[in-house]
Amino acid sequence: MLRDITLGQYYRTESVIHSLDPRVKIVGTFSFIISLFLVKNFIGYVIAALFLCACIKLSNVPPKFIFRGMRAIFFLLLITMVFNLFLTPGEPLVSFWKIKITKEGIRLAIMMGVRLVFLITGSSLMTLTTTPNNLTDGLEDLLKPLKKVRVPVHEISMMMSIALRFIPILMEETDKIMKAQMARGADFESGSIMNRAKSLVPLLVPLFISAFRRANDLAMAMEARCYRGGEGRTKMKPLVYKRIDIIALAVIFGYVVCCLVFGRILFR
């Protein structure tokens, strides 16, 4: 069962968005997020909403999956909106006791809410349509310039992909250790939170020991296969921009320009 766990939340299907180069998707998502914070009026948000809907439509991912991510941020959303609603100074609309709701407050609360929802939707669309592997590859390539300032970009991305490979293995191992401890009378399910946290110690110690042992073995296996860092390494699946990627970049650029012109410059 644990072997089938999907990481991130990749949704397997065929679509234009799925086939895009991961770098384009990362750049696109970031431009989209930045555009949300530059836009100052209603028209800008309409443009952003249209763009987002078009992307969702193109991605063939059922909207159900996309909005699932929203549950996780529901409270964050609520708190942000409530704080903005009550704590923004300005022209009071309703006021009772010490609390007052201002016109600016309503405006800001709605804006923040919409921003957050769009932000989460946009970024989960990226993770839904890109395999974790592709994502790390894309990130490595995009962050390459940071190598000049001695950021170990290749190493970080290698670590990320190894972590992704070992998560299911370690999960299975956790399960095994847990069962072994339970067979000897360990109790993970009852008691106060403190007690339950304490009962995790005998689970974590063997897990860590085994993780270190695995890491040691893996390092040896990698060395035996001539691994020597990113220098002089070739790629089996190099990232190449295709025509569709160029078109997508142009579309993203067009969207950002539209957002700026209509959402910030033309209508203040």
Partner 1 sequence: MKKMIRTDKLVFEYIRRDEEGNVEGITRAIDDVNLSVEPGQFIAILGHNGSGKSTLAKHFNALLYPTEGEVYVDGMLTEDDEHLWDVRQEAGMIFQNPDNQIIGQIVEEDVGFGPENMGVPTEEIWERVDESLKAVRMDKFRKSSPNHLSGGQKQRVSIAGVIAMHPKCIIMDEPTAMLDPNGRKEVIRAARGLNQVEGITVILITHYMEEVVDADKVFVMDKGKVVMEGTPREIFAQVDKLKALKLGVPQVTLLAHELRKSGVPLPNPILTRKELVEALKACR
Is residue 1 close enough to count as binding partner 1 by CB under 8 A? no
CA-based nearest residue to 52, from 115, 109, 111 = 115
Quote the CA–CA distance of 73 and 108 in Å, as a whole number. 18
Closest alpha carbon to 11 in 53, 82, 47, 64:
64
d(C-alpha 54, C-alpha 255), whole Å: 12
Do residues 37 and 256 make contact, with C-beta atoms less than 8 angstroms apart? no
- Which residue in the set 68, 103, 165, 179 belongs to the binding site for partner 1 (CB under 8 A)? 165
Q: Which is nearer to partner 1, 165 or 196 (CB)?
A: 165
164 binds partner 1 (CB under 8 A): yes
Q: Is 133 in the site for partner 1 (CB under 8 A)?
A: yes
Structure tokens at 60: 């063939």
Q: Applying CB under 8 A, which part among 19-27, 30-38, 192-200, 217-225 lies near partner 1? A: 217-225
CA distance 244 to 230: 29
Under rule CB under 8 A, residue 64 binds partner 1: no
Binding residue for partner 1, selected from 89, 145, 185, 238, defined by CB under 8 A: 238
With vertex at residue 48, the alpha carbon angle to CA 60 and CA 261, rounded to the nearest 5 degrees, is 140
Q: Which of 91, 224, 243, 268: binder of partner 1 (CB under 8 A)?
A: 224
From candidates 236, 243, 265, 268, binder to partner 1 by CB under 8 A: 236
Q: Which stretch binds partner 1 (CB under 8 A): 12-20, 82-90, 191-199, 215-223?
A: 215-223
User: 175 vs 223, which CB is nearer to partner 1?
Assistant: 223
Using left for φ > 0, alpha for ψ between -120 and 50, and beta otherwise, residue 208 falls in: alpha
- Contact residues for partner 1 (CB under 8 A)? 3, 132-133, 161-162, 164-165, 168-169, 214, 217-218, 220-228, 232-238
